[in-house]
Amino acid sequence: MKLNNEQIQKINHILLREERIYDKLVRLELVDHIASVLEEKDLSFEESFTEYWHSSEKVLLITNAKKQIENKKEQVEGYFWRQFLNPIHLLVIAVLFFGLKSLSTQIETFEHFVKGSIIVLMSLVFVLFLSIKFFSKRNYYYFKSFLGSVSIFYVVSLQLSNFWRNKITESLPYVNIFLVYISLIIVSFWFFYKTYRYSLTIDSVKKISS
């Protein structure tokens, strides 16, 4: 029995809506595998599909697919955080820290520097949310998932910086901590771009039925 386009689209739709297989290439491979299994049966499409969909073989197939997707998500997030441990990147962060420290002395008061920094960084976080909106309409599933998982960190931490502003401007240790934090945030946007490039190299076409 050869499946038609409508039947293939039904399989794809169920995998997307019911099983939530958002990785497009993994889903396409699943559709191809399931279609091949159904075409070997001497039953109608509805009968063969119902029989297969409630089988242990299907459960194992979907479980393996979801494990593969989770592993790829972890690869992308791990790649981002490892950027902070790169010796060259640590040197960049240190240079940026001292540059910001020098810049802060040129501002009328350090409080003005803190306020300006928080406003600028909140604007960048807003751009980050726009990026999520942009990528949500495209097939960059792993990068979109990564953005969603880390964006809340920026919002909360910047709000805390705003809340502790008095301590930041009155205590030298807090000043240095704030400058280190700003340096990390700035370089993180560079790391975002590198992570995006890396996410595109994730091999989504693997044999998952075995």
Q: Kindly list the domain boundaries of the chain, sorted by start residue.
A: 5-72, 75-199
d(CA 118, CA 180): 14
For helices 172-199 and 56-82, give the axis angle rounded to 10 degrees.
130
d(CA 18, CA 164): 45
- Report pLDDT for 88: 94
Give the predicted TM-score (pTM) of the model: 0.67
d(CA 65, CA 62): 5
- Report pLDDT for 205: 42
With vertex at residue 54, the alpha carbon angle to CA 53 and CA 55, rounded to the nearest 5 degrees, is 95
d(CA 186, CA 96): 9
pLDDT averaged per 10 residues in sequence order, the chain, 210 residues: 86 88 84 89 86 90 88 86 92 93 83 79 73 58 67 68 66 81 85 81 51
Residue type, 5: N
- Report pLDDT for 209: 43
DSSP string, 15-58: HHHTS----HHHHHHHHHHHHHHHHTSSS-HHHHHHHHHTSHHH
- Report pLDDT for 97: 92
